[in-house]
Amino acid sequence: MATREELNRLVGKALSDEAFRKEFIEDPVAAAKKEGIELTPDQAEALKSIDTASMSEVMEKVASKGCVIRYGV
C-alpha cells in the first residue's frame, strides 16, 4: 500500500516529467512499480481514473509561464 507521500511523489513526477507522464498515462501501476511504489487495487483504480488530458493541459499552461514544479516533499 502506497503512503500519501508516495502517491503525492508519483503524481508530482507525472506532472513534472514528460517521459514519466507518458508511462504513467499508459500504465500507472507499472509506472508506480518502476518508482518502487506498490499500489493497492483501489489506489491503482483511482490513478487510472485521473483525467490525463487535463493533466497535460495544466502542464502546458504551467510551462508556458516559466514555472517549475517540484515533487517529492
Q: Which three cell numbers stand for residue 26?
A: 499508459
Query: Does residue 67 register a pLDDT over 80?
Result: no
- Cα-to-chain-centroid distance, residue 56: 11
Say which residue, 64 or 50, is predicted with more confidence: 50
What domain count does the chain have? 1
Measured CA to CA, the distance from residue 36 to residue 41 in angstroms comes to: 16
Could you list the residue range(s) of the whole structural domain that residue 35 is in? 4-64
AA letter at 25? I
Look over the chain and give the mean of its residue pLDDT values, rounded to a whole number. 83
How much of the chain exceeds pLDDT 70, in percent?
Answer: 82
Measured CA to CA, the distance from residue 41 to residue 39 in angstroms comes to: 6
Query: Does residue 33 register a pLDDT over 70?
Result: yes
Residue matched to cell numbers 491503482? 44
- Asked whether residue 41 is assigned to any structural domain, the reply reads yes
Q: Which three cell numbers stand for residue 66?
A: 516559466
- Across 57-65, average pLDDT: 70
